[in-house]
A and B are shown apart, each in its own frame.
Chain A
Amino acid sequence: MSLPVDWTGADAAQLAAGTIRPGVLLRIFAPRGTLRPIRLWSGVGELVIPGDDADPFVSRFTPYYGIGALTGIPVVNQLINGLAERADFTLSAVDMPAHLAELAGAGASDVRGAGVQLGVVVFDVQWQQIASPLWLWRGTADTLKIERTSGADGEVVRTLSLSVASVFSGRKRPTATFWTDPDQRRRDPADAYFDRVALYYQGSTMVWPK
């Protein structure tokens, strides 16, 4: 989902210039706690930005990595016409920091539910950060897949794509249907409490007494 953005101050002036120098930030928080946060950015080398409430542990030893790891940023939208949004982040599967390799090696259950945040940091002409990063979009990681494509000249490209759902993506999924016999049997095979629910539908005639 999109977060409220307040473009004021020095970064707004910088964004109105002829050439702007933004850095796109991506951070992934694994849900289980066993995986460490993954911090990536669009530039070259390492970027240390001050930590915030969501991620207080950024230091020069745990910077944002930008070694060509982040190859594609999807277009993220505001909620338009109620259309649920899903974004695919493409990451290089070759040149990845160890944290990212952990994520790739983790099971699907570890990845699902990881918090993903997309932000922008603005630099001045001398490549110095001039304001705190703005976190623009927030999603929840869904599935992770590794792709391998080979080009015409034999070049092999490995990418890791992370599908991220926004808060509205799961909206059409049916809500919990607990009040049927199969659902209740799945919870407890011996429980026959909803045994006769299937007989009750609109217009059914109950014959009584039999």
Chain B
Amino acid sequence: MPYVFPTRLFNPGTMNARLVGAQQSGGRSLSGIVQNADLSGGGYWVVEFGDIALLSPDKVLAWRRLSAVLAGGATPVLVPLGDRRHQPLSPRKYGGIDTFGLSTWAEDDYWQPSDDTPDSIFAQGPILGWATRTTTIDFTYTGDVPLVGGEHFSLQNVPDLGIWRLHRIVRIIEHSGFSYTAEIRPPLRTEYASAGILMNFDSPRCLMRLDGDMEATLEQLRFGRGTVRFIEDFPSAAALGDDSPSDSP
């Protein structure tokens, strides 16, 4: 299991989760109209946390431990967005029930957070199966707060449980009763054939890796202020079943 970035412990001042594509322009034409091409196939996630106030020794030490273990991006890490206010949850504040991302690096939580599953299961899919790279998914949703689009959710890669993928609901296409059909971005990273996949709206997270350094300069040897940037991590292709016997030379 990968490490966890304790977003809620650090309580960052700013958070920015965005989907980065690879848009290229063909140059300005004589008419002034520019045609763009997006070669990214849907893009990847970049999450930036800024203005992280390291005001207590435990936060400073947690920051130092983490920056050592993440090795400048070589080690993947689960990054919870810590953005409960904009999730379809009630109450929208943290009530102490969700401790993911609040890890203070106790031994139990170091590798595998004990609360890796959502507190309440109110969204599950698929109803009919989701193919790889689909952007229209069907699921059952029994939450109290209606979905409006813009919410994040995470899906766990089924054989490799450490791999969580982050998705964002773009719009609800239709719903009747508890069964919903929604459009999402980015396209699904893998196939989900069987039902019973949890859609984690409680604590959306993504397997990412550091981009750059975890910088925090101590002032007066007491307080620090940190900024960190993560990009989505993709495990090596070999780990995802690359050596399947069904491939004939």
Contact = CB atoms under 8 A, between A and B. Distances in A.
Nearest to B237: A97
A165 interface: no
B35 A45 contact: no
Interface stretch (B52-60, B97-105, B183-191): B183-191
Nearest to A126: B135
A127 B242 contact: no
A132 interface: no
Contacts of B42: 43-45, 127
Contacts of A62: 242, 244, 246-247
A81 interface: no
Chain B interface size range: 35 or more
B30 to A, nearest CB: 16
- B interface, by DSSP: helix, strand, loop or mixed? loop
Contacts of A96: 237
Nearest to B165: A45
B244 A61 contact: yes
Interface in A38-76: 41-48, 57, 59-63, 65-68
Interface string B24-52: 00000000010111111111100000000
Nearest to A45: B189
Interface stretch (A19-27, A133-141, A181-189): A19-27
B132 interface: yes
Contacts of A30: 249
Interface residues of A, number: 40
A128 interface: yes
Given A45-B189, A48-B132, A126-B136, A59 B237 contact: no
Contacts of A67: 234, 236-237
A46 B22 CA distance: 16
A13 to B, nearest CB: 14
Interface string A82-114: 000000000000011111000000000000000
A155 to B, nearest CB: 11
B133 interface: yes
A61 to B, nearest CB: 3
B238 interface: yes
A106 to B, nearest CB: 13
A165 B129 CA distance: 43
Nearest to A32: B249
19 contacts: A18-B33, A18-B35, A21-B39, A22-B39, A24-B39, A30-B249, A37-B247, A41-B41, A42-B22, A42-B40, A43-B42, A45-B133, A46-B132, A46-B189, A48-B133, A59-B244, A65-B242, A127-B187, A128-B134
